[in-house]
Structure 1
Amino acid sequence: MTPRTRQACILMAVPTVDFAALSLSQADSSIDWNSSDVRGLCEKLDEAFRTIGFVFLTNFGVPEDEVEKIFTMYDKFFDLPVDVKNRFRRAEKASGNNGYVALRRERLDPTKPSDLKETFQTDLSAHEWPDKEVPTLKEESTKFFGSCRDLGTRVMAAMGRGLDGLKDPDLFVNSHQLIGSLKNRTTLRVLHYPPLPPENEIEPGQLRCGEHSDYGSITLLFQDTMGGLQVKKTAGGYINVPYVRGAVLVNLGSLMQQWTSDKYIAARHRVLLPEDPDKRSRIRRSIAFFFHPDDDFVIESLDGSNKYEPITAGEFIDRKFAITY
């Protein structure tokens, strides 16, 4: 372990990295990947993914009002009666990953009771939208999906240049070419944590979101101010993840950890039930954008070690879904 890595492990806080050198405000053609600013940014991301698996990015080029618009529109959807929301529920055996997932339907930690959250998600494959109930939801979700896709692509391009020994620096980008089709599981997911039920309706050990690691390559997470997210340290114990205004939280998924032969960390994380009475009576909101490689792309150890058996990205995610639902 290098002194720099050792110091990061001691501090064990989610770092904040200025992403201005790769901001979406710049065209792809204007980026100089050999500049000191860009190379320094790639190194900082590499360090974060090796030590904790999470990093805040600032100055990344998606306006705050675009994020807030998504929050506001989905507030309207989640306020609808349950029977209306269920008309758009996620079909378990459908070819896409779309639709509404009801409260207590998911169990991200299979050892715990079901999660106290509900969600709506889209991978942009054909599915029914609540167009009458929340006009323009599809339009705005599609627009935001594109912003997240572009940002995540920049992050993965930086990862490809920061990871030592990677022969093709564009591998991560080139393996995610079919986003928005039925041949790729990349998904935009809006999460809604309603006010907590009475104490006697909460099961022992139940959380708003059970401990888990994300499934795919990377996740972009936009949070509100409510807090509650914790990241598990490799040495045990948890870190409270704060709200950082104007930042997006990026973390690694278990597919990426396997792909890098555990050089990168897919840290386990959870969302606790708030103890503050005021927060227990309020909603919590977040938006997650889950990046996945194209379904047919074969994931095998990048260092040639064969530490993990090769598997297609589609098979990998199907196995994860089978445990969750």
Structure 2
Amino acid sequence: MTFQVPVIDIAPYVAGGSAEERAAVARAIDAACSEVGFIQILGHGIDPVVQRGLADALDEFFALDLETKKTFRTPPGVNRGYSAPKSESLSLSLGVESASRMNDFFEAFNVGAAQSDYPGVELDAENYAENLWPVSAAPGFQPRVQAYFAEAKRVANTMTDIFADALGLPAGFFDAFTGHSLDVLRMNNYALPPGTVDLDGELTGMGEHTDYGIVTVLWADQVRGLQVLGADGSWNDVSPADGALLINLGDLTARWTNERWMSTLHRVKPPIVDGTIERRRSAAFFHDGDVDAVIATLPSCVSAEHPNLYEPVTVGEHIAAKLAGSRAGVSNAGAAREAARVLAAAAR
């Protein structure tokens, strides 16, 4: 069977569709989340001008010299600022010990929801760190990224509205878990200067991993590289259709649904053309939930045939273990189920 990522038009939830139209979208989302875990969405309502602005912002920052970019680094525990090539290993977020060196060659810049975005809420400074903007080095970066961040957040909230309907939950169910959500936009650049990577070796743009939170909204170039693990253990190339955003589920949604919906493993393998790495850009908006929210399996997803697979966990505990793997090189011992899928795929 050919692997396909379903294309779903969510306009009825964005532009005021009828109850019947919204129900049809919810059914399609339920099927996609159950069978694939990745979705392409149309009708999301993000202006192409805002998307082009994001692409221009990435170009402006990543064109800077490496030493300048490194001045915007933060400690591993702070999910903000610049990550240099080969400073991370996403596979370690799953506890896969074979990925014991920091070898992912992408570079990235992270911005996220800060303490100042949630006035009146007492939040810790590490999880809700203020952003580090390259104001003088890349003056067009901040306004363009902030414009896209706001739109991606709106799309993520729309997706959780659809999720509630698809799972038969009360309208607004996810609002109680996302009032001060740990939202992060990670902008990625897959390219390296000549001579900095051995093209004869096994290259990893971004190692195999699941996303950590509730839902991810991904903007990406139409360039090969993203690969998704199919149910048969095969890796499959995925590229967005014209005008589409890619949506995938995070670990917290898999926990909530007792794996009725799956947090799908994916990776980035570098496209190489005429002996050089073809540049690829992407920007992943991670909608992760409130740091103190407790995620426990939905009772409707537990039965005699499907016993509960997960103990309750706070969003903060779960995210901290994942980031300690990817950014600080500490293997995550709490991701045994995801790691088993990685190792099974590698054995094929």
CA shift, 1:68, in A, is 1.5
Query: Residues 143-292 of structure 1: matches in 2 within 5 Å?
Result: 143-164=147-168, 166=169, 168-179=170-181, 185-195=182-192, 197-198=194-195, 201=198, 204-277=201-274, 280-292=276-288
- Structure 2 residue corresponding to 1:302, chosen from 283, 298, 301: 298
CA shift, 1:256, in A, is 1.1
Q: Does the CA-based 8 Å contact 2:82-2:108 persist in structure 1? A: yes
CA shift, 1:196, in A, is 6.6
Change (3 A) 1:283 1:315: same
Q: Distance in 2 between matches of 1:260 and 1:105?
A: 33
Which AA in structure 1 matches 2:30? Answer: D
CA shift, 1:118, in A, is 0.3
Note the aligned Cα RMSD (angstroms).
2.0
Query: Residues 72-91 of structure 1: matches in 2 within 5 Å?
Result: 72-91=56-75
- Secondary structure at the residue paired with 1:190? strand
Change (3 A) 1:46 1:195: same
CA deviation string 1:28-67 (max 9, x = no partner): xx565xx111000011011100001000001210012211
Q: Does the CA-based 8 Å contact 2:210-2:263 persist in structure 1? A: yes
- The equivalent of 1:3 in structure 2 is none
CA shift, 1:103, in A, is 0.6
- The equivalent of 1:36 in structure 2 is 20
Q: Distance in 1 between matches of 2:286 and 2:150?
A: 13
CA deviation string 1:93-126 (max 9, x = no partner): 34xx210011111101233351110000111422
Matched, 1:22 2:13: yes
CA deviation string 1:133-157 (max 9, x = no partner): 1114222222211111111101110
Structure 1 gap ranges (5+): 1-9, 180-184
Q: Distance in 1 between matches of 2:160 and 2:175?
A: 6
CA shift, 1:91, in A, is 2.1
Which AA in structure 2 matches 1:317? Answer: I
Matched, 1:108 2:83: no
Matched, 1:314 2:303: no
- The equivalent of 2:109 in structure 1 is 120
Q: Distance in 2 between matches of 1:14 and 1:31?
A: 24
- The equivalent of 1:131 in structure 2 is 135
CA deviation string 1:167-194 (max 9, x = no partner): x342223311113xxxxx2101110011
Q: Does the CA-based 8 Å contact 1:214-1:254 persist in structure 2? A: yes
Instruction: Give the share of equivalent positions with the same residue, in percent.
Output: 28
Flag the structure with more relative contact order, 1 or 2, with Cα contacts below 8 A and sequence separation at least 6.
Answer: 2
Change (3 A) 1:238 1:196: farther
Which AA in structure 2 matches 1:107? Answer: S
CA shift, 1:275, in A, is 3.8
Q: Does the CA-based 8 Å contact 2:80-2:110 persist in structure 1? A: yes
- The equivalent of 2:31 in structure 1 is 47
Which AA in structure 2 matches 1:250? Answer: I
- Secondary structure at the residue paired with 2:290? coil
- Secondary structure at the residue paired with 1:250? strand
Change (3 A) 1:129 1:17: same
CA shift, 1:313, in A, is 0.4
CA shift, 1:90, in A, is 2.7
